[in-house]
Structure 1
Amino acid sequence: MHVTDGVTLNVIATPQFKTTSISIDFLAPVSTQGLSQRILLAQLLETSSADYPTQTALAKKLATLYGASYGVNVYRYGMINGLRFSSSIINDHFANGEHLTQAIFSFLKQVIFRPLAADGQFDATTFDRQKVNLIAYLKSLNDDKQYYAERELFDLYFKDQPELATSLYGDEPTIEELGNADLYAYYQQLLATDDIKITIIGDVNADEIKRDIADWQLAPRTSKQQAIIYHRPVQTAVTGSETQPLQQSKLNLAYQLPVYYRDAHFYEALVFNGLFGGTPISMLFKNVREKNSLAYYASSRFDGFTGTLSVQAGIDQHNQQAVLDIIAEQLEDIANGKIDEEVFNQVVASLINNHESRQDSPRAVVNQSVLDQMVGSTVPASEWLTHIQAVTPEQVAAIAQQVTLQATYFLKGDESR
């Protein structure tokens, strides 16, 4: 439903769940600066507001709403960055006649539009504490060496689009430079200009929800379909490496796979990734890890918003070339049609089971609804199933033939250890 220019309300009325789940998404083009600003905003807005200045006060308020949940997070789909306020509360039917849905919308209005701020900036003590905590957390993430290696890989791969390589936890140097008043001004701009998607799923009345939202008096904003897909051109392959005192080395690869979300070959790419390294029955898992014992783990991931296929492997440093060779061999086998029929069918069944299980999660349904609005299309579960079941081994082989290695990063363990 159209609320005002740039603001839409999607009500998924269903008795399937005993809870009512809500998300309010603020969407804008992705940037390194914006990601960093939004993640710090998420930390501030999740823990305090003018009406609930401490986490304890927030928790007490949620307790009066039968233990409702509340959270703020940041996400990125391709070229779009989202700041999401989300909440889940038991359905009114189970609350002795109380109007909990109306109450939670009132609560969300308070925490979104009445932050803990005065005189054009956030509360100084709260701002400083959350900024220090976020920077400390970012520093601690470097202790996760797989995370570190993946960040270094994407810095190589997205060197021309650094905003796509930036961690969803933000960029440490950028966060260091964020000022209180500047962040507050950015938040006011975000509230006034971002596209807003409001989504609710539960046993609710759409007209009542629309009346609740009308009370927010959201200002119209320029609404336009934002580009979500990034088409990265094939470039000369690049490599990077580093030595650290580790027992387990990290080998990460990035390939271009020019297939994008819901285009003509998207479902074939999903099956290809599941067969290559995206499932526990994949060829990487079976042949690199189990059969040849060359890796502690080996898997792949496909991003349909950037056409990126990435591979992650934890290995012994001496096995680097052997692992590179066997990964390339798995890819070549698929491209040449050397696909075990039983494994292929198991991969398809696994994808179907995962998709069906997501239909039982209110959060997953909300996520999909927001994404559908971003891309401007909807695929019902039955149609998705038809697409996946129609994929053939020959089509998957054709997908593998389009894969081009673009970046390699090796985090090598120090031999002296």
Structure 2
Amino acid sequence: MKTEHLQDDIHINVLPTTKFKTTTITLKFMAPLDSETTTARSILSKLLVRATKQWPTDKAFNRHLSHLYGAYVNSFVTKFKDKHVITISLELVNERYLKDQTPLFEKGLNLLKEIIWNPLITDGRFDEIFVAQEKSLLTKKLEAMVDNKSQISFLNLLKNMFGEQPYRHLATGQVEYIPSITPETLYHTYQSMLQNDYCAVYVVGNVDEAQVKQQLQSYFNINPFQFALTQTAKPLPKTQMPLEIIEEDVVDQAKLNMGFRLPAQYGDAEYFAMVVFNVMFGGDPSSVLFNEVREKQSLAYSIHSQIDAKNGYMFVLSGVSADKYKIARDTIIAEFEKFQKGQFEEEKLALAKKVILSQRQESHDRPKSIIEILNNNILLDTPMSEEAYLSGIQHVTKEDVQQLAQKVILDTIYILTKGGND
């Protein structure tokens, strides 16, 4: 997606700031989003931060963290555009604030190096007990989702909207793949991560940028990469739009979910109008869905919209009275059509912008959010500056929102409601 690459662009991004007393170091390993590999990668992400050759037990590993003034390490998996991402993050007290001269940053880098390059592997296999524990934990986590009607109905919306495409699945994986994962297969998953993944590294804290870049390069030998798309999850072409699916289950309230296709993605000219539209439509308690469907008409117990701006989708998720889901569905569609006709107040537009700018401001108070914002720049030829973002939001007009709404397509409606026999 990038058109050219500078020699020194090795995706090591350091943000020196005196805002925090801590330093956060984050590595992101990105592979194509593939149903066959996400579950194993999910388990791998947890194994890497549990034990290493040097600290081979939970106890030894945690004791070492406490020696680093209570350093905190965690890992999680996410979907990013069409990639599956393993994020490994370490948060340390900044050594400038210590009374003694402990080279804490360097010790932190040594710990991360140990996590990435020397995990607890013997003869080409991960530790059997740890693997069994992580498989069991993931199984329980994924099985618990089946009982969570909100989560399962969202996954059912994705399944109907995206068919067999890997985008329909959770980043954490699928239960059916867990039994076949072994200490040996995880070793291959790990090798593939090291050899084939894009890796980007971020550091946020009161540090010397040039020095840190040099250290990271020597510790991790990060290669430059051009962010290329493997496949973009497009919803299936539908003969009849929108597709509506109604399923029955033992539920207290109906789940009414809708999937929309947006005409733009992160970095496009219409991106800002898309963000503003989402907040006005259902992305905030000041939105029309919240006010009309929930407050005024009391049709929904909960309702909100959320966007995946990187891929150009918007989802409306709601819990409604089982006997009112048809009225709720029609009301949501009617509110959406008002945007297409430009039937909304300038004050609402101004309020939405205010909400977005204030949320953006808040995100700069958390190193984790700063890193996610920096990471989005991988998708762009030229990084988006903070000024460009703020200005882009401020310059969205009523016409921009209306024109965007006219190009938004309602793709799929999924309803999970009470069965007729209970």
TM-score by length of 1: 0.94
Letter in 2 for 1:298: I
Q: Which residue of 1 aligns with 2:238?
A: 235
* 1:299 match: secondary structure: strand
1:109 to 1:379, Cα distance in 2 relative to 1, 3 A:
same
Look up the SS of the partner of 1:262 in the other structure.
coil
Residue 229 of structure 1 and its aligned partner are, at CA, apart by 8.1
1:268 maps to 273
Superposed CA deviations along residues 101-139 of structure 1, whole A, max 9, x for unmatched, are 111000111111111111111011111111111111100
Matching residue of 1:47: 50
What is the root-mean-square deviation in Å for CA atoms of aligned residues? 2.1
* 1:372-391 C-alpha deviation (Å, 9 max, x unpaired): 12434322222211111111
- Say yes or no: does 1:90 pair with 2:93: yes
**Which amino acid in 1 is paired with 2:325?**
Q
Worse overlay, 51-60 or 149-158:
51-60
Which residue is equivalent to 2:203? 200
* Letter of the structure 2 residue corresponding to residue 117 of structure 1: I
Residue in 1 aligned with 2:84?
81
The total of aligned residue pairs comes to 414
Which residue of 1 is the match for residue 412 of structure 2? 407
Structure 2: which 5+ residue stretches go unaligned?
none
Structure 2 vs 1, CA of residues 379 and 217 (structure 1 numbering), >3 Å: closer, same or farther? closer
Given the superposition, is the C-alpha separation of residues 401 and 384 from structure 1 closer, same or farther in structure 2, using an over 3 Å criterion?
A: same
* Paired position in structure 1 for 2:182: 179
Structure 1 match to 2:31: 28
2:343 aligned to 333, 338, 346, which one?
Answer: 338
Inter-partner Cα distance in structure 2 for 1:378 and 1:211: 22
Partner in structure 2 of residue 321 of structure 1: 326
| Aligned partner (choices 288, 291, 298) of residue 293 of structure 1 | 298
Q: SS in structure 1 opposite 2:407?
A: coil
Cα gap change, 1:347 to 1:277, in 2 (>3 Å): same
Q: Distance in 1 between matches of 2:83 and 2:397?
A: 32
Number of the residue aligned with 1:120:
124
Q: Separation in 1 of the partners of 2:204 and 2:357? A: 23
TM-score (norm 2): 0.93
- CA spacing shift, 1:295–1:166, aligned 2, 3 Å: same
Deviations 1:170-216 (A, max 9, x none): 11112232232111112012112212111111111234324433443
Is residue 2:66 matched to residue 1:66?
no
Alpha-carbon offset, residue 25 of structure 1:
1.1
Q: Contact 1:228 / 1:374 at 8 angstroms: preserved in 2?
A: no
The answer for the alignment partner of 2:155 in structure 1 is 151
What do residues 14-58 of structure 1 show as CA deviations (whole Å, max 9, x unaligned)? 222211111011112211122212111112122222222233322
Deviations 1:277-313 (A, max 9, x none): 1111111000000000011011111111221111111
TM-superposed CA distance for 1:219, in Å, is: 7.4
**Match in the other structure for 2:362:** 357
Runs of 4+ in 1 over 4 A off after TM superposition: 2-7
2:138 corresponds, among 113, 134, 137, to 134
Q: Percent identity?
A: 27
Q: Contact (CA 8 Å) 1:80, 1:226: kept in 2 or not?
A: no
